[in-house]
A and B are shown apart, each in its own frame.
Chain A
Amino acid sequence: MISFVLRRLLQAFVVLFIVTIIVFILIHLLPGGPARASLGVQATPTAIASFNKQHGFDQGLLTQYWTWLSELLHGALGYSFKENSTVADLLIDRLPKTALLAGISVFIAVLIAIPLGILQAVRRNKIVDYIATSVSFVLYSTPSFWLSLILVLVFSVNLGWLPAQAPQGSISEVLLQPSGLILPVATITLISVALFSRYMRSTTIDNLTQDYVRTAKAKGAGTARILFGHVLRNAISPILTLLGLSLPFILSGTLITERVFNYPGMGLLFYNAAVTQDYPVLLAVTLVVALATVLGSVFADVCYALLDPRIRYARG
């Protein structure tokens, strides 16, 4: 088990390493190179030249990479002239808010999706299943920003129940205005539920066809005991794996939702940076998001190993 986790972490390191290389390449794709990336679009040629000299960008690519990487690891993520703050500070401010939004949405989505998926599996191909599957399909095919717009149209404009804009300010201020969080959370939750419940349904059906369910039935077990005492145990780890792996999907959804609702999280930061060509921010957020994704998949694998006794107690 330990060896499994270690191997997995090693893999993650390699992947992250390659990610930094990719980002490095991205920096050099920019017209004007890394100087532009740091100083921004408005930088004058002289500023760029001195910057290059100062940071050793006139040296070989490999040295550059090494310098950049070590600076990165010391927390120097650059400075954003647009926002007038170090990128690191910006991230510290924004990341918790995005985490809050994504976290709540995923939590609610899981709470809905697991029972829904199980219900669909048990009542497979009956009316309940068809309706739920159809709704899932449609939701899955819906662009999240459109969903947001509709929600705003219905609940803000027509009914006036909820505000159309998300709460502003720091994380503590955000938490004080929960009503503004409802629509953004609803958007991400709805999209996620579609994906999760479908998956839960598949996994449950897969499990229900296993022999051990027939054995349980032969012992006289009823539906409840079979589902919760047997199937759920086996179905949980695929779900956790899915959660870990769907992090990119959720983050993308969060980005768009933050834009629509003007929610001051990392997604909106990234969007603004894209519009204003604030490259230091763009790069830093990309790195953070990649890191989150990699950690998510490590989490998924480790959970899977922990919950499956065949791996946990593997002999040798």
Chain B
Amino acid sequence: MSVLEISDLVIDIRSRNASVRPVDGISLSIEAGRTLGLVGESGCGKSTTGLAVLGLLPLGGQIVRGSIRIDGQEIVGMKEAELRLVRGRSVGVVFQEPMTALNPTKRIGVQVAEPLLIHGLAGRADAMRQAIDMLGEVGLPRPQQQAERYPHELSGGMRQRVMIATALSCRPKLLIADEPTTALDVTTQDQIMRLFRRLQDELNMSMMLITHDMGVVAGNTDDVAVMYAGRLAELAETERLYGAHRHRYTEALLSSIPTLDTSRGQRLASIAGLPPNLGGALAACRFAPRCAHASQTCWDVEPDWTGTDRHHFACHWPSGGAGATVTGAVTSQGAAS
């Protein structure tokens, strides 16, 4: 049984005048001990998906349909009181901005120990001891002293480590990391990602790594799910995705990363255009407007979610392979693969 299983998740966000659907039919799963990278551009719905797992949708957010199961337990439809038992206990979260995610008026140690106290897993003294241990685990020097400090006294990297310690204090089965290193410099990024890997091994923990950075995903995940405009474009084991990707969006994403081979003066490839406005009219394949290989089919017919056992994608004109996978009328207008 997977630690996390999401099926056909659809989320709406309603404001006074309008309703938007940032997540439109996502299905994925994470096995024990594995890391799934959830990648996509800003606004593609990946953070919303992550937040939904914990029932932390913003005001106006609602799960329209679908299922989220954590260790077999259905999250969708859970009452607030039940959700509180899950949060921090079975699932931990690390957010993007360590600067603001910590309470500025409370000491570090207390904040790390808090989940233990909330879930009644330890008394006050014991919880503090465990918190100090955890701070050491995440790589803070002299954890006992650090525990007495306030957030503003620490650097960004240290604060993120504190956030990680907090998220892990109850030894959750699943850790959701929403852009955990985006606010940090590159060296620190690397350190934090190593820390994640080490802790995962030690705790046999699963992880959902939400990021827009394909580089971060490369060495740090087992599987990757590529999201675009609220839908999944491709889902595969990481190595396969990088080596044998099929969806044109994935292709475009990967080719836009400069590599050591990129020669001086060579223009950086980027994907023309912007992600679609979800409130407006959308093509059947949402990437069609920006895809170099799109045909009229792509505008009219939604591509099937197809593929083999551990590699799925939804594209009419996938790269590197068999060609169109379309039900219904096939038009051979437009570009071939």
Contacts and interface: CB of A to CB of B under 8 A. Distances in A.
A and B touch in the complex (CB under 8 A): yes
Interface stretch (B93-101, B130-138, B305-313): B93-101
A95 interface: no
B303 interface: no
Given A220-B89, A221-B84, A308 B105 contact: yes
B240 interface: no
A225 interface: yes
A222 interface: yes
Interface string B61-97: 0000000000000000000010011111100110101
B271 to A, nearest CB: 31
B166 A215 contact: yes
B100 A221 contact: no
Contact of B106 (A211, A233, A307, A310): A233
A220 B118 contact: yes
A217 interface: yes
A84 interface: no
B71 to A, nearest CB: 16
Contact of A310 (B101, B104, B119): B104
B114 interface: yes
A219 B97 contact: no
Interface in A218-261: 218-222, 225, 230, 233-234
Contacts of A234: 103-105
B101 A211 contact: yes
A66 interface: no
B150 interface: yes
A225 B163 CA distance: 19
Contacts, number: 76
Nearest to A230: B103
Most buried by B among A210, A217, A310: A217
A55 interface: no
Given A218-B54, A310-B150, A212 B102 contact: yes
Contacts of B153: 313, 315
A230 B110 CA distance: 11
A296 to B, nearest CB: 23
B284 interface: no
Contact of A211 (B97, B114, B119, B166): B97
Contacts of B109: none
A212 B87 contact: no
A219 B105 contact: no
Interface residues of B, number: 30
A308 B104 contact: yes
A161 B140 CA distance: 67
Contacts of B54: 218
A189 B312 CA distance: 67
A291 interface: no
Contacts of B102: 212, 215
Given A218-B54, A220-B84, A313 B101 contact: no
Given A308-B104, A309-B104, A310-B104, A217 B56 contact: yes
B115 interface: yes
B103 A219 contact: no
Nearest to A211: B100
B152 interface: yes
Nearest to B163: A215
Most buried by A among B56, B92, B104: B104
A216 interface: yes
Nearest to A124: B59
A233 B103 contact: yes
Contacts of B89: 220
Contact of B115 (A212, A220, A309, A313): A220
B118 A310 contact: no
A281 to B, nearest CB: 45
A53 interface: no
B93 A220 contact: no
Interface in A259-316: 307-310, 313, 315
Nearest to A236: B105
A7 interface: no
Contacts of A216: 103, 114
Given A215-B103, A219-B87, 17 more contacts: A212-B101, A212-B104, A215-B95, A217-B56, A218-B167, A219-B115, A220-B87, A220-B89, A220-B115, A220-B118, A230-B106, A234-B104, A309-B104, A309-B152, A310-B104, A313-B152, A313-B153
8 residue pairs, one from A and one from B, having the closest CB atoms: A220-B88, A219-B88, A211-B100, A220-B87, A309-B150, A212-B103, A218-B93, A219-B115
Interface of B: 54, 56, 81, 84-89, 92-93, 95, 97, 100-106, 114-115, 118-119, 150, 152-153, 163, 166-167
Interface of A: 210-212, 214-222, 225, 230, 233-234, 307-310, 313, 315
28 contacts: A211-B97, A211-B101, A212-B100, A212-B101, A214-B56, A214-B95, A214-B101, A215-B95, A215-B101, A215-B103, A215-B163, A217-B56, A218-B88, A218-B92, A220-B115, A220-B118, A221-B84, A221-B88, A221-B114, A222-B84, A233-B103, A234-B104, A307-B105, A308-B104, A308-B105, A309-B105, A310-B104, A315-B153
